[in-house]
Amino acid sequence: MGHDYEAGKKTAVRIISILAIITIAEVLFALLGKGYIIPGVHFPAVIMGGVMIIMSLVKAYLIVYEFMHMKYEMPGMVRSVLLPLFLLVWGIIAFLYEGTAWKGNRQKVIEKNERSVETLTQPSAETYHADDSH
């Protein structure tokens, strides 16, 4: 038990150090990719997003498996907690797709409004305001 305790202390220090390093890396990468560290350097949004998401998932894994001791639980318990979370994969795909569709539909409405204003024989300036967005 005494040996376990000393090993546990060491593991805690190791994990918190890794979490701190990943956090610093995330912030530095965010600033680097947007040209704050080296002026003019810009990374594509897909690379920025991908790297950030992977680093966050590594942090989440370390917190759940090491700090919350998921590593030492029974496999059945681990599955009963973690498997339901995979429903979120579909949730993320579906709702991001939905959000993009809303933008497309709004754009379509704006374009149709513009076209109908142009084709009206007597266009009325009062009924149409191009800039009512905020």
Partner 1 sequence: MADTLTQTNSPMTEGSWDGASRPFKASYGKLMMWYFLLSDAFTFAGFLIAYGALRMSSPTWPVPDFVFSTVPEWLPGSAHHKPLIFVTIMTFILLASSFTMVRAVQEGQQENKNGVVFWMVLTIIGGAAFLGCQAWEWNTLINEEHVSYHTNPFGTHTEYGKYLEGDGHDIEAGDTFQPGDSYLIHNVDGHWHKLKYEVTEGEDAGMTKEMSFGPKAFSALFFFITGFHGFHVFSGVVFLLIICINAASGLYVARKNEYEMVEKIGLYWHFVDLVWVFVFLVFYLL
Contacts to partner 1 by CB under 8 A:
1, 4-5, 8-9, 12-13, 15-16, 19-20, 23-24, 26-27, 30-31, 34, 36, 48-49, 52-53, 56, 59-60, 63-64, 67-69, 72-74, 76-77, 80-81, 84-85, 88, 91-92, 95-96, 98-100, 102-103, 106-107, 131, 133-134
DSSP 48-115: HHHHHHHHHHHHHHHIIIIIS-GGGS-HHHHHHHHGGGGHHHHHHHHHHHHHHHHHHHHHHHHHHHHH
Residue number, 7 or 120, with CB nearest to partner 1: 7
For residue 84, the minimal CB distance to partner 1 (Å) is 6
Residue number, 41 or 77, with CB nearest to partner 1: 77
Q: Tokens 């190791």, residue?
A: 14
For residue 110, the minimal CB distance to partner 1 (Å) is 10
For residue 118, the minimal CB distance to partner 1 (Å) is 14
For residue 121, the minimal CB distance to partner 1 (Å) is 24
Q: Tokens 């009924």, residue?
A: 127
Token pair of 113 as six digits: 């409004």
Q: Tokens 């030492």, residue?
A: 72
* CA separation for the pair 61, 120 (Å, rounded): 60
